[in-house]
Structure 1
Amino acid sequence: MELEGLALQETNKVMQAYQHDKEFLHTFFDYENEDRAYIDRLEELASRGFERQQLAGIVRAFMERFGISEQADQHIEELADDAVAVVGGQQAGIMTGPLYSVHKAITVILLAKKKRAELGVPVVPVFWVAGEDHDLNEINHVYTELDGRAVKHQFRDKFVLKWMASDASYDKKQMEAFVKSIFGKYGETIYTKGLLEEVLNAVHQEQTFTQFFVRLMNGFFQKEGLLFIDSAFKPLRELESAYFIRLIEESEIVAEMIYNKEAHFTELGLGTPIQAELDAANLFYIHETGRVLLKRKDGLFVNDSTGIHFTKEEMLRIAKEEPWLLSNNVATRPLMQDLVFPVLAFVGGPGEIAYWALLKDAFHHLQMKMPIIVRRMSITLVTPQVKHALEGKAFTVEDVMLGQVSIAKEQFTEGLKNDQFEAVVQETEALLTEQYRKIEEVTDRQGPMLQEILTKNLQFHTKQLNYLKGKAEEATVLKHATALRTYSLLEGELFPEGILQERLYTPYAYMNAYGPSLIQDICELPFEMDGTHKIIYL
Structure 2
Amino acid sequence: MKLHSAALRNTSQFPTLLLDYLDQKPELEEFYDVFPSRDGAIQAIDQRADFDSSKRKTLVEVLTKQYEGIADAPDFSVLLDKNTFTVTTGHQLNIFTGPLYVIYKIVTTINLARTLKETYPDYDFVPIYWMASEDHDFEEIASFNLFGKKYTWSGEHSGAVGRLNPQELETVLNALPESVPLFEKAYLENKTLADAARCYMHDLFGAEGLVTLDADDAALKRHFLPVVEDELFNQNSSRLVEETTARLEKLGYHTPVHAREINLFYLTDELRERVIRQEGTFNVLNTNLEFTDEEMRQEISEHPERFSPNVVLRPLYEEIILPNLAYIGGPSEVPYWLQLKDVFTHYKVPFPMLIPRNFALYVNTASRHRMEKLGLSYKGIFKEKYQMKRDLVERISEHTLSLDLEKYAFAEVLAKVVNKALDVDVTMEKAVLAERARLFNSLEKLEKRIRRAEERKHEIEIGQLQNLLDTFFPDGSAQERHDNFLNFYLNNRNFIEALFEYFDPLDFKYNILEE
Give the TM-score band, short-chain normalised: 0.7 to 0.9
- What are the equivalent positions in structure 2 for 1:101-140 lying under 5 Å apart? 101-120=102-121, 121-140=123-142
* CA distance 1:36–1:8, change in 2 (3 Å): closer
Distance in 2 of aligned mates of 1:341 and 1:496: 37
- What is the Cα deviation at residue 128 of structure 1? 0.4
**Which residue in the other structure is 1:226 paired with?**
210
Paired residues of 1:89 and 1:127 also in contact (CA < 8 A): yes
Q: Does 1:531 align with 2:512?
A: no
- What is the Cα deviation at residue 348 of structure 1? 0.9
Distance in 2 of aligned mates of 1:505 and 1:361: 36
Distance in 1 of aligned mates of 2:181 and 2:459: 35
**Which residue in the other structure is 1:203 paired with?**
187
* CA distance 1:29–1:368, change in 2 (3 Å): same
3-state SS of 1:166 partner: helix
CA offsets, 1:23-60, max 9 Å, x none? 33322112222344322221211133242122112122
- What is the Cα deviation at residue 115 of structure 1? 0.8
Which consecutive unaligned segments of at least 5 residues does structure 1 have? Answer: 185-191, 417-475
* CA distance 1:52–1:228, change in 2 (3 Å): same
**Which residue in the other structure is 2:298 paired with?**
317
Q: What is the letter of the counterpart of residue 508 of structure 2? A: G
**Which residue in the other structure is 1:492 paired with?**
470
Out of 49, 52, 58, the residue aligned to residue 49 of structure 1 is: 52
Q: What is the letter of the counterpart of residue 155 of structure 1? A: W
Q: Does 1:239 align with 2:216?
A: no
How many residue pairs end up in the alignment? 449
More divergent stretch after superposition (6-15 vs 336-345): 6-15
Out of 151, 157, 164, the residue aligned to residue 168 of structure 1 is: 164
**Which residue in the other structure is 1:336 paired with?**
317
Out of 225, 245, 248, the residue aligned to residue 265 of structure 1 is: 248
CA offsets, 1:57-94, max 9 Å, x none? 2122223344444xx32xx2211222111111111111
- What are the equivalent positions in structure 2 for 1:344-493 lying under 5 Å apart? 344-403=325-384, 407-408=388-389, 483=461, 486-493=464-471
Distance in 1 of aligned mates of 2:385 and 2:459: 20
Distance in 1 of aligned mates of 2:51 and 2:205: 30
The ranges of structure 1 where at least 4 consecutive aligned residues each deviate by more than 6 angstroms after the TM superposition are 409-413, 479-482
CA offsets, 1:262-284, max 9 Å, x none? 2222333323422123xx22111
3-state SS of 1:345 partner: strand
Distance in 1 of aligned mates of 2:139 and 2:504: 34
- What is the Cα deviation at residue 211 of structure 1? 3.0
Distance in 2 of aligned mates of 1:116 and 1:317: 44
Which consecutive unaligned segments of at least 5 residues does structure 2 have? Answer: 398-454
* CA distance 1:528–1:88, change in 2 (3 Å): closer
Please, what is the CA RMSD of the aligned residues? 2.8
Paired residues of 2:326 and 2:354 also in contact (CA < 8 A): yes
- What is the Cα deviation at residue 299 of structure 1? 4.0
Normalising by the residue count of structure 2, what TM-score does the alignment of the two structures yield?
A: 0.80
3-state SS of 1:47 partner: coil
3-state SS of 1:337 partner: helix
**Which residue in the other structure is 1:59 paired with?**
63
- What is the Cα deviation at residue 180 of structure 1? 4.0
**Which residue in the other structure is 2:284 paired with?**
303
Q: Does 1:510 align with 2:488?
A: yes
